Amino acid sequence: MSKKTETARIDIYARITDRIVADLESGVRPWVKPWSARNMSGRVSRPLRHNGQAYTGLNVLLLWSESVACGFTSATWMTLRQANELGARVRKGENGATVVYANRFTKTETDAGGGEIERDIPFLKAYTVFNCDQIEGLPDHYYRAPDAIAKPLERIEYADRFFDNTGAVVRYGGNQAYYSAPTDHIQLPEPAQFRDTTSFIAIRAHETLHWTSAAHRLNRDLSRYHKDRRERAFEEMLVELGAAMLCADLGIVAELEPRPDHAAYIQTWAAILGADKRAIFQAAAHAQRAVAYLHGLQPQASSDHEAV
């Protein structure tokens, strides 16, 4: 990899991370309650590509944040080229949003003995997309109001089935919510103890994402979770990201209010991200992988929930 390419990658990491750190330092978690903003009320979803496919990983966070900041009402985004191919045009003076594409390619090299070896090389590319609110001349369906989401009771029943289908063991009682690795079970207070049912769903989502960390599932190393505050804060950050994505997938308008123990993490999250410009990318990738794993446990699992 050339020095110029590596520098460009570092700039992408730094630019995106610095933006998120600025939000955290002002007390705002950009992945929390994106749909509570006035311009986004009434619909709960991930941001969508021009073909209707949902964005994944860090791009969800980036485009949620951009929508709230700019007052966009459309959930759909596309590149300048895609808009032009549809016979549309981005309005003059509009600024696009940055999204990223991460992947790997294999390169064949010659080793010291003259033999050929293959190296797996990761790469990161940033590109610019525009919200449909910034584009004129698109086909009518791009400007339609979002379809009405299912009735609250129907959404909650669907969410309950989703979590039951994972096979995670849940025990009820007490006043704490947590995942116990030694016994491999999720502990939750009785549902009636929560402010409302959607709050219960949000907490169940959070703890189920911790449940995915087990060695026989996604094997996230939590051996230092109770010993190292930074390790614990990183796990909590990726689980919060995952819970926000999962609630959007389930159509649940969950408050996701900061729990007392999580509110204290905000400055630690800012410090972690400030010291490691790749940390938020790693957290988002782990979060997406965990959400995809839970989707994969459903009876009719979709193959399109992949980490990006």
- Nearest residue to 97 (alpha-carbon basis) of 83, 84, 82, 79: 79
With vertex at residue 12, the alpha carbon angle to CA 99 and CA 134, rounded to the nearest 5 degrees, is 35
pLDDT at residue number 306: 41
- Please state, rounded to an integer, the average pLDDT across all residues of the chain: 85
Calpha distance 158→149 (Å, rounded):
12
Mapping DSSP onto H, E and C, the string for 182-245 reads CCCEEEECCHHHCCCHHHHHHHHHHHHHHHCCCCCCCCCCCCCCCCCHHHHHHHHHHHHHHHHH
Domain parsing of the chain, residue ranges: 3-296
pLDDT at residue number 307: 41
pLDDT at residue number 43: 61
Calpha distance 180→187 (Å, rounded):
7
Other beta carbons within 10 angstroms of residue 296's beta carbon come to: 12
pLDDT digits (tens, 9 = 90+) for 83-106: 999 999 999 999 999 999 987 667
Least confident of 3-12, 72-81, 168-177: 3-12
pTM across the whole model: 0.84
Calpha distance 114→137 (Å, rounded):
58
Calpha distance 211→223 (Å, rounded):
14
Mean pLDDT of 191-214: 92
b/e for 174-188, b at 16 or more Cβ within 10 A?
eeebebebeeebbbb
pLDDT digits (tens, 9 = 90+) for 111-161: 777 777 777 776 788 999 999 999 999 999 898 766 655 566 677 899 999
Calpha distance 261→268 (Å, rounded):
12
Mean pLDDT of 180-203: 92
pLDDT at residue number 308: 42
Secondary-structure breakdown of the chain: helix, strand, coil percentages, each rounded to the nearest 5: 45, 15, 40
pLDDT digits (tens, 9 = 90+) for 256-279: 555 556 667 888 899 999 999 999
Q: Given pLDDT bands bounded at 50, 70 and 90, which one contains residue 2?
A: low
pLDDT digits (tens, 9 = 90+) for 26-78: 877 878 756 555 556 556 788 999 999 999 999 999 999 898 888 888 889 99
